[in-house]
Structure 1
Amino acid sequence: MLYALARPLLFSLAPERAHELTLSLLKSSHKLGVMRQVVEAKPVTCMGIEFPNPVGLAAGLDKNGAYIDALASLGFGFIEIGTITPRPQAGNPKPRLFRIPQAKAIINRMGFNNDGVDQLIENVKAAKFKGILGINIGKNADTAVEDAVADYLICLEKVYNYASYITVNISSPNTKNLRSLQSGDALTELLATLKKRQLELAEEHQHYVPLVLKVAPDLTQLDIEFIASQLLEFKIDGLIVTNTTLSREGVEGFPFCDEAGGLSGAPVFEKSTACLAAFAQLLKDQVPLVGVGGVLTGEQAAAKQQAGASLVQIYSGMIYTGPSLIKDCVHAMT
């Protein structure tokens, strides 16, 4: 109800300004003790972790982990922060975030803007949140793609002790050549190296932190088959399906439809869910799946579950629907 009243004001602002203001207001409300949404318990065990409910926040909303406690008050079963890179970076030039309300869609080309992994760790340490926290890692824009593994290793090692699980983001369309890591020898090298280091860190810290891969929806069936085989070969603990799409299907003719970047929101639902179902058919419950992309209703969250997802994440849907979406999704899922 409150969000329905606030949304016209927020939508009158530039999208990135509205994003910053919303997080700031949420944090202030949380500090005052006036922001808390009670969501029914619906425990789910996935990747060896017990989640209080199956609905989480997708990466991208809180890139630096600066709003963890406030976001937790909304009732998420888990929160994923990032994408984080080894060094701070400004991201792509503004404007870089565009709403298409006619289609309940968003286009972004943020470009991994973040304060760097060291600052994220300080923010995590300062948070009181004791729930399930995913940390999403990437590479710096000025790191050559052939050297990307080193960036992922730096982030993996630094966040290992602070994450419930770690997501390897190789699917953003907004860092040049990043998606090339989803195929061929590049993916094999990345997964082999990170898995080896994960097992070493588990031994060093006497604590196992699951490693998760996040992929794009713009994959061919051959791509999906290859990625699935690599997940099984290297015993990757989970797969997030999917990131944003380069397709403009569903937004043709609307203002901003031709802006560069990844499309999220309602138009990506069918594409991302089809991708999810394709992975589910190949992996046959051997790798847990997290469904994300275009969830704006509880029924759509349930559809992700029916397509093979153990967990669901939301982000763009919250912008159009508000925090009540979390309750709706939890209630709709079995």
Structure 2
Amino acid sequence: MAARASRKLLRDFLFRRACTTPIAGARHCSSAAETAPKIPHFSKKGRLLTGTTLGLVIGGGAYVSTVDEATFCGWLFSATKLVNPFFALLDPEVAHRLGVSAAARGWVPREKRPDPSNLGLDVWGRKFSNPVGLAAGFDKNAEAVDGLLGLGFGFVEIGSVTPVPQEGNPKPRIFRLREEGAIINRCGFNSEGIVAVAKRLGAQHGKRKLDETTSSSSSSGEEVKPGGKAGPGILGVNLGKNKTSEDASADYVQGVHTLSQYADYLVINVSSPNTPGLRMLQGRKQLKDLVKRVQAARDEMQWGEEGSPPLLVKIAPDLSKEDLEDIAAVALALRLDGLIISNTTVSRSDPVTTNPAASEAGGLSGKPLFNISTSLLKEMYILTRGKIPLIGCGGVSSGEDAYKKIRAGASLVQLYTAFAYGGPALIPQIKAELSECLERDGFKSVSEAVGADCRVATPKVHASSVISLLQSDIKTALKSAFGILDGPLPVTDWCRGRNKSGEITVDGYSAESTISECKDSSRIVAPSIVEPWSPSPSCSAGSTSTCLKDVLPAKTDTFVIPLPAILVGCPKQIDPNSYLTVERLE
């Protein structure tokens, strides 16, 4: 009845409207023969479908209102999987632009669930809620920092940013290798330039400061939450050089002066394969000169209580052992704050070689890069003796992958290609898996697991081998090198140093063996990054050992001592050509 009455009223209204509306050739509709316009009559099937849809919407909304926020958040992240097939149909660069735009406009889910407690850690004095970050290359121009951090990343790295805007290499320049879970790109540092990025970051930074000021009164007394200059997460700024620039150092210095005030950490990118001559900056002399100049530029700026942002270098995976040793030496000598290992590779191995896109020039990222970059990461952790925080990047697509990077020496991990394929739903999945891996192996935190595969347990097979140390020669040498030495001589090697009464000595110095092989073949030992010295005549009467005072550099933090010079009655298992690296502890 109600439906029939509604249709009658609507018919009468339209009839009156038609009669009072001027029509070509007639002023009014006055003919008695005129009939009311016919209103479409919806079928029972249509009414049923409409009613069902409205009912589901209303019922669903009512149910959602009773569901906790965490569950609803999980639904939203899972729902993003429905969009992935659509992005897969698009050109890779078009899909990338849509992804950045969606994150910039807030059209992506926002993580409301807290991270597992065992994922939190401190690096460079910054609190990370979790160690999983987004690598540089996705948000090159800082358009979507808030949206990306809102997805649940522990940190986001923007860039690479060049001083002057540049288009990059001609398109097409991004190629999918879907079956291999990989991507080849030759973008070539396409960037809007540091001025545009600085304006964008400045506006975002100002808005956050205003929000923090507004909420500070109500949140006083609460514990310090993870985050940095980007709010809830940590923001890294990756700096690059212009393609036509003749002074690479000047480009990086300009980036530091303009963007460092907005960064929680800075990255010198010297490893992209798509900028001619860039990787040559990884050479020992070139890298040392570059890092010193950039460090000076950063340190000459005025910084508040939080201090200057840490400076990292991103290196390539296509390096020789000698290259790695040079980079490690520079990093230790200049006290570099960190290394990112690694960028994309120019190599093509099976099964990538069977893909038609493998012949495209550019850097390969994704799953095929995982083993290469993880092996490099482990080697660099050993070379730097765990003294420099490392970010593991390359092929991470699961929580297990992230865990392997951490065990290989990474304090933090980054992903990009897997995110491009898996979308936002991948992030909570990786964090949950990583947390489970830590619990499974008995680690209470990420920090406990860092470098677990590189650690060496002290062997007990040589406990009966008594080693006499030439105390006078070594103490003289250490005093010459460090300026002071009190107490008994401390040397910790796989055969521990002992004093005259046979007790293990410890008083502030340590030594590491650089033996390439030992009785336990599974044991990993750190190779020396300092060249050894040739034996010289002894300065101690009646001694046949090397006089260390003559061969050690003065006032150094790290130096190498030939084993025969300090050990008498050396066990046969020790290679007489081995060395001990002695270093001052922090």
TM-score band, normalised by shorter chain: over 0.9
Counterparts of 1:1-334 in structure 2, within 5 Å, are 1-30=78-107, 35-37=109-111, 38=113, 40-41=115-116, 42-127=119-204, 128=208, 129-130=230-231, 131-144=233-246, 147-201=247-301, 207-249=307-349, 250-331=351-432, 332-333=434-435, 334=438
- Paired with 2:278 and 2:114, the residues of 1 have a C-alpha distance of 37
Could you tell me which amino acid in structure 1 is paired with residue 192 of structure 2?
D
Deviations 1:169-200 (A, max 9, x none): 00000000100000132111101111222222
- Paired with 2:195 and 2:163, the residues of 1 have a C-alpha distance of 8
Give the 3-state SS of the residue equivalent to 1:201 in structure 2.
coil
- Paired with 1:92 and 1:286, the residues of 2 have a C-alpha distance of 38
Deviations 1:82-127 (A, max 9, x none): 0001010000000000000010000000010010001111111222
Distance 1:248 1:39, change over 3 A: farther
- Paired with 2:87 and 2:181, the residues of 1 have a C-alpha distance of 15
Could you tell me which amino acid in structure 2 is paired with residue 36 of structure 1?
R
Could you tell me which amino acid in structure 2 is paired with residue 258 of structure 1?
S
Give the 3-state SS of the residue equivalent to 1:173 in structure 2.
coil
Greater relative contact order (Cα < 8 A, sep 6+): 1
Q: Is the 8 A contact 1:202 1:209 kept in 2?
A: no
Q: Which has the larger radius of gyration?
A: 2
Q: Is the 8 A contact 2:284 2:323 kept in 1?
A: no
Q: Is the 8 A contact 2:104 2:143 kept in 1?
A: no
Shift of 1:232: 0.6
C-alpha RMSD of the superposition = 1.6
Could you tell me which amino acid in structure 2 is paired with residue 181 of structure 1?
L
Q: Is the 8 A contact 1:298 1:325 kept in 2?
A: no
Deviates more, 1:201-210 or 1:72-81: 201-210
Deviates more, 1:262-271 or 1:5-14: 5-14
Quick one: percent identity of the two aligned structures? 44
Shift of 1:39: 5.0
Q: Is the 8 A contact 2:392 2:412 kept in 1?
A: yes
Name stretches of at least 5 consecutive residues in structure 2 with no aligned partner.
1-77, 209-229, 439-586
- Paired with 1:57 and 1:12, the residues of 2 have a C-alpha distance of 23
- Paired with 2:306 and 2:368, the residues of 1 have a C-alpha distance of 43
Q: Is the 8 A contact 1:195 1:234 kept in 2?
A: no
Could you tell me which amino acid in structure 1 is paired with residue 129 of structure 2?
P
Q: Is the 8 A contact 2:369 2:395 kept in 1?
A: yes
Deviations 1:271-299 (A, max 9, x none): 00000000001111210000010001110
Could you tell me which amino acid in structure 2 is paired with residue 229 of structure 1?
A
Could you tell me which amino acid in structure 2 is paired with residue 134 of structure 1?
G
- Paired with 1:176 and 1:205, the residues of 2 have a C-alpha distance of 39
Give the 3-state SS of the residue equivalent to 2:138 in structure 1.
coil
Shift of 1:325: 2.4
Q: Is the 8 A contact 2:284 2:327 kept in 1?
A: no
Name stretches of at least 5 consecutive residues in structure 1 with no aligned partner.
none
- Paired with 2:245 and 2:339, the residues of 1 have a C-alpha distance of 25
Shift of 1:206: 7.3
Query: Aligned pairs, how many?
Result: 329
Give the 3-state SS of the residue equivalent to 2:166 in structure 1.
coil
- Paired with 2:296 and 2:203, the residues of 1 have a C-alpha distance of 30
Deviations 1:24-46 (A, max 9, x none): 2233344xxx6212351532111
Deviates more, 1:123-132 or 1:109-118: 123-132
Q: Output the TM-score relative to the length of structure 2.
A: 0.55
Q: Output the TM-score relative to the length of structure 1.
A: 0.94
Shift of 1:50: 1.3
Distance 1:25 1:196, change over 3 A: closer
